[in-house]
Amino acid sequence: MPLSNAQTPPDDLADRQAELASLIRRFSPGFGIHETAIGPLNFIRSDTPTDSLQQIHKPALCVLAQGRKEVSLRGESYTYDALHYLVVSVTLPISGRVIEATPDQPYLCARLDIDPAQITQLIADKAPIGVPAEVPGRGLFVERTDTGLLDALLRLVRLLDDPASIDVLAPMALREIYYRLLRGQQGQRLYEIAVVDSHAHRVTRAIEWLNYNFKESLRMEELAQRVNLGVSTLHHRFKAMTAMSPLQYQKQLRLQEARRLMLAEHLDVGSAAFEVGYESPSQFSREYSRQFGASPLKDVTRLRSIA
């Protein structure tokens, strides 16, 4: 989903983006992820382009004030910039890299973690909301940024300068942001995962179960029964949302966690493999090499040298 570098925002968007960029700079003095006094809100800054980083991405809205980023899901690429926001609606193993950033014009991102339960409550309170009808697709999408969404986000971010008002006003701003996402052109994707007993919601429950139980052996019949779907329906819907089968998804979770264990907790290869559910270290090493392009030992050594 390529975007043109020649694209420039209209004046009404540019003014809001300039304010958002100023606020993110102030609360993000250096490279990395910066937590804020508003729990689900984080800022991300990079003064240079970055290498691709694989991660398990939780549901979130990512709005850029400056820069460009590319994320990939199983070979599918999604590029977004200050004119486009990214929504990850379900937990997904993706890779991402900053592709446009300089010290003078750093990559500046406001990431808002999405709570599906709050979207469910909003739908229950305000139905019908008027969500555009669209066939559900992947569990992430890029949409064009509009002034309504930026205004709501700015109201939330400005509260960082008024800490005493956060508890009262932040929930209102969050509710408006969710409402505007639902009313967006691809809002149906968020709507579907939040409506109890829809197929998308049941697939989301399967995804959540796998995230908490990825070490266990996966039996499709049991997983399908757990979320009240037929095996073939679950497989089809799961792949439509995540671009992978439940077994491939579980493998991604296991390998990502094993990598973290070796890096952060200094587990050896065999211990990491066993910890995430592998019975065969050799199978683990083969799948790890296919996933990350190097053996576990070489990959971890490289990452430590970079750090």
> Domains plus CATH for the chain?
11-192 (2.60.120.10), 194-247 (1.10.10), 250-306 (1.10.10.60)
- What pLDDT does residue 137 have? 80
- Looking at 83-92, 124-133, 254-263, 283-292, which range is the least confident one? 124-133
- The band of 189, judged by pLDDT with boundaries at 50, 70 and 90, is confident
Query: Taking 60 as the threshold, does the pLDDT of residue 3 lie above it?
Result: no
> Once rounded to an integer, what is the mean pLDDT over residues 132-143?
78
Q: Say how far apart CA 188 and CA 65 lie, in whole Å.
A: 25
98-121: per-residue pLDDT in tens? 999 999 999 999 999 999 889 988
Cα 261 to its chain centre, rounded Å, is 21
Q: Which among 215, 218, 280, 274 is positioned nearest to 245, based on CA atoms?
A: 218
Average confidence score pLDDT of the chain: 91
Query: Taking 90 as the threshold, does the pLDDT of residue 148 lie above it?
Result: yes
Q: Please tell me whether residue 197 adopts helix, strand or coil conformation.
A: coil
Helix axes 199-213, 231-242, angle to 10 degrees: 80
Amino acid letter, 166:
I
27-36: per-residue pLDDT in tens? 999 999 999 9
Interstrand relation of 60-66 and 84-88 (parallel, antiparallel or unpaired): antiparallel
- The band of 7, judged by pLDDT with boundaries at 50, 70 and 90, is low
Query: Taking 80 as the threshold, does the pLDDT of residue 4 lie above it?
Result: no
pTM of the entire predicted model: 0.90
Q: Say how far apart CA 246 and CA 243 lie, in whole Å.
A: 10
- What pLDDT does residue 194 have? 83
Query: Taking 50 as the threshold, does the pLDDT of residue 232 lie above it?
Result: yes
